[in-house]
A = this chain, B = another copy of it.
Amino acid sequence: MQAIKRIEIITDALETREVCRVLDSLGVNGYSVVRDVTGRGERGVQSGDELTDVFKNSLVLTACPPERLSDIVDAIRPILKRRGGICLVSDAQWVMH
């Protein structure tokens, strides 16, 4: 097993494509997306009960080598600034296969 950083980004569903684009452009190995996340934060309740995706979040999870962390975080931060949401980073082990 190999030490990696586990980054999870929860932000407005409208930015999902943008987050993925940023990760792609940084050349990360991969990422996973859970759409249809609701929640509450500074900007109020995102109850997801709308006809549009306006009040909904999504979660993007990516595991990356520790040395890539700061690049990714720097690239994601402007999106969070613009749109709100959170980005959590934790340590994990990656099961090689």
Binding site for B on A (CB under 8 A): 1, 4, 6, 10, 20, 24, 29-42, 57, 59, 61, 63, 73, 76-77, 80-81, 86-95, 97
* Identical copies in the complex: 3
Which secondary structure characterizes the binding site on chain A? strand
Asked if A31 contacts B37 (CB within 8 A), the reply is no
Chain B's nearest CB lies how many Å from the CB of A1? 7
With A and B bound together, what is the CA distance between A80 and B30 in angstroms? 14
Shortest Cβ-Cβ A-B pairs, 9 listed:
A30-B41, A32-B39, A87-B95, A80-B97, A90-B92, A89-B93, A88-B92, A33-B38, A81-B97
**A38 to B64 Cα, complex, angstroms:** 18
